[in-house]
Every structure is written in structure tokens, then in C-alpha cells.
Amino acid sequence: MKKKECPSCAMKIDAKSKVCEVCNYEFPGQNKGLKWAAILLAVFLLLLYLWW
């Protein structure tokens, strides 16, 4: 099983973990889908505004 180091507490945890079990540090990249949805919504609203 691969391990990664938590940047907050330096504990070795499972590489697939999204949150550190010790200090509850949330690793970045969890909200990639949400980020893309926000970008697409902004582009859609901009196009709608320009079309109006």
C-alpha cells in the first residue's frame, strides 16, 4: 500500500486518502468537479449576457 505524508502533521497515511486521519487536513484536488462546474457556469452566464 502506498503512503503519502501529510503536510500539516507529517504522518504517513494511505495515498488514496483525501483527509488526514490524525489532523483532518484536507488534501487539495477534492473539488475539481465543483471547480469545473463553476467555470462552465461562468462561461455560460457570460455568453448569455453577451447574447442578450
Domain boundaries, the chain: 3-51
Amino acid identity for residue 5 in this structure: E
Check whether 8 has a pLDDT greater than 90. yes
Cell of 28: 487539495
pLDDT band (50, 70, 90) for residue 43? very high
Q: What angle (nearest 5°) sits at the alpha carbon of residue 49, between those of residues 46 and 52?
A: 150
Compare 4 and 31 and report the one with higher pLDDT.
4
Cell of 16: 488514496
- pTM assigned to the model: 0.50
- For residues 14 and 8, give the distance between their C-alpha atoms in angstroms, rounded to a whole number: 15
Give the three-state DSSP class for 13.
strand
